Structure 1
Amino acid sequence: MFRHHRSGLLTLTALGVTAGAAVLAAPAAHAAPTCGRPPVQYSVDGGANWTNSATIAAPSATVQVRLAGQPTAGCDYHVSLGSYETQGATWATSGRQTFLGWATTTLTREHYRDVLDVSGHLPHCFGELALYGVGEKYDGSDGDHPLPHYPDEPFSGVLLASWNGGTACPPEPTGSPTTQAPTNPATPPTVTPTPAPATAGVPTAGPTPTPAASTSSPATSTSSPAGAGSSRPAPSQATAVPALAATGADPGLLAATAVGATVLVAAGCTVVYAGRRRSTRH
């Protein structure tokens, strides 16, 4: 009987040791690896130089990232690059930020290198680039994805590197120059009284030829009285009538007088001739 109890104790002991070993080994087999902060390096010159500096020296549309050293097997490292427009050239003066775009990738031991491209989303004036170790887009869409705003930032504890800088945007043109532009060309038409001197000079220049014509006509009409009764005066001589009136000689009156004298002389001769014949007959 003692032998049976002894063999039973030995069997229970063996079972307990086996079960304990299985319990102790189970957690170690299923424990997730401790990945921690991603050991990331980046390059802004096409991979010629790599760094893990917290300050990005210059803005770049493409940033290459890679895992440095020997990454832990089974770990996924999310790396993102966000682009923002700001109101100042430094983090302290960045003010209100506007989300422009982002790019993200997942690095592993097998896929340890990649390129983040924000070519179409670079800031044109003041801006910020943030390289951080989370695959989340902080675009201000909700409370869990806020925009960066000094002194609070959503990248606390996961920010790998950042750049702040740029220049101020030029002021936007106002509408005042465009509204005043049409009024300037409208003023010249009001300053166009040039036709007035031209019209005022016409009456003074017109009468000057007429005195010259009238002064030359008396010279030609002074020799016309001898033949006044034989032909009709030309239009130019008709204008000379007032000049003859000034000397007291009227061509029409002279012609009538000459005709009357001729008639009287002829009548007188006829009477004398008739008288002589009568005296001869007697």
Structure 2
Amino acid sequence: MRARLRRGLPTLAALGLTAGVLLLVAPAAHAGTNCGRGPVQYSIDGGTHWTADATMPAESGTVEVRLAGEPTAGCEYHVSLGSYTTQGATWAASGHQTFLGWATLTLTRDHDRATLDITAHLPQCYGELALYAVGEKYDGSDSDHPLPHYPDEPFSGLMIASWNGGTACTPKPTGSPTTTTPTPTPTSATAAPTPPVVPIPVPTGATTPTATISPAPVPSPTPSHSPQAPVAPAPTLAATGADDGVLTATAVGAAALLAAGAAAVYVGRRRAARR
């Protein structure tokens, strides 16, 4: 029995030594990979004010982070900042989210302060910023890295701070804008343009017909139906018993007779002289 114990002692000693080495090495290895959640503070004004509040006071493209207190030697703390578009200004109204970009870094006891910069990935309308304590990118690429969606978010137990806000985007016009040219309304002071007179060509050698213009008929005067006044009779000569017309005819007849008598006398004398 003792012989067996003597033979087994070296084996037991070797096992004990191996176990002791594993116990000494295990804490250091564990400390480098899992040190729990670090005491992280952040600032959005370049380090002037530091806070650990769960709600970020405003949107910021640069967030400075640091380890508060005395961090454990050998521990590493991962911190990430993700940017997303949302459908509303609050977490409850965020609806569907779209990943825009992220930044990540690691804090240690010797490197306990750094800056996360996502200036190029800030939301333009409604959005969310998430500051969380893990070096994973939650961009919806697979089931292990889902997008935030109310009421579930992938940072459960890891969220340091978050911001929700922004304004609604202006809808983009669809199609090409149509320009309507107003039609000018003619005014009474503006005369209508006279259409141009186009000359009709006349063939060479042809006689241009002359238009005959007939005078317009003159309308006959409409007879008046009013009774005409009676015409007074011409006055007659009193005292002589004859009028001017009778005296004139008598004088002419007498002159004719005298002339005829003189002619007869002259002819008679001529005939007598010839004999």
Q: Say whether the fold is shared (TM-score over 0.5).
A: yes
User: Counterparts of 1:57 and 1:46 in 2: how far apart (Å)?
Assistant: 14
| CA drift at 1:90 | 0.8
Alignment of 1:164 onto 2:176: no
The answer as to 2:142 corresponding to 1:142 is: yes
Structure 2 match to 1:187: 183
SS at match of 2:100: strand
Q: Distance in 1 between matches of 2:41 and 2:85?
A: 25
Partner of 1:107: 107
Deviation at 1:39, TM superposition (A): 2.0
In the TM superposition, what whole-angstrom CA distance separates every residue of 1:198-239 from its partner, at most 9, and x where no partner exists?
A: 759xxxxxxxxxxxxxxxxxxxxxxxxxxxxxxxxxxxxxxx
User: What is aligned with 1:61?
Assistant: 61
Mapped to 2, the partners of 1:62 and 1:120 lie a distance apart of: 10
**Counterparts of 2:98 and 2:15 in 1: how far apart (Å)?**
59
Aligned to 1:126: 126
Partner of residue 30, structure 1: 25
Quote the RMSD (CA, aligned, Å). 2.8
SS of the residue aligned with 1:78? strand
Q: CA deviation at 1:63?
A: 0.2
Q: 1:187 to 1:199 in 2, by over 3 A?
A: closer
Q: Which residue of 2 aligns with 1:246?
A: none
C-alpha displacement of 1:153: 1.1
Q: Distance in 1 between matches of 2:25 and 2:36?
A: 18
Moved over 3 A (4+): 8-21, 173-176, 190-195
* Structure 1 residues not aligned, in runs of 5+: 201-282
What 5-or-longer segments of structure 2 have no aligned partner?
A: 196-275
TM-score (ref. length: structure 1): 0.59
Comparing both structures, which one devotes a greater share of its residues to helix? Answer: 1
Post-superposition Cα deviations, 1:50-103, rounded to whole Å, max 9, x if no partner, equal: 111111111111000112222222222111100111111111100011111111
What SS does structure 1 have at the residue aligned with 2:41?
A: strand
Establish whether residue 42 from structure 1 lines up as the match of residue 42 from structure 2: yes
Amino acid at match of 1:125: C
Greater Cα radius of gyration, structure 1 or 2 = 2
**Compared with structure 1, are the counterparts of its residues 163 and 12 closer, same or farther at alpha carbon in structure 2 (3 Å cutoff)?**
same
Matched AA of 1:163: W
Q: Match for residue 151 of structure 1?
A: 151
Per-residue CA deviation, residues 1-49 of structure 1 (Å, 9 max, x unaligned), is xxxx98x799669747744641441232121225011221111111111
2-structure distance, mates of 1:140, 1:10: 62
Give the number of aligned pairs: 189
SS for the counterpart of 2:149 is coil
Question: 2:223 — aligned with what?
Answer: none
One-letter amino acid matched to 2:83: S
Q: How many angstroms apart in 1 are the aligned matches of 2:92 and 2:126?
A: 13
Counterparts of 2:6 and 2:67 in 1: how far apart (Å)? 53
Instruction: Mark the CA change 1:13 to 1:150 in structure 2 (over 3 Å): closer, same or farther.
Output: same
* 1:75-90 mapped onto 2 (5 Å cutoff): 75-90=75-90
- Counterpart residue identity of residue 135, structure 1: G
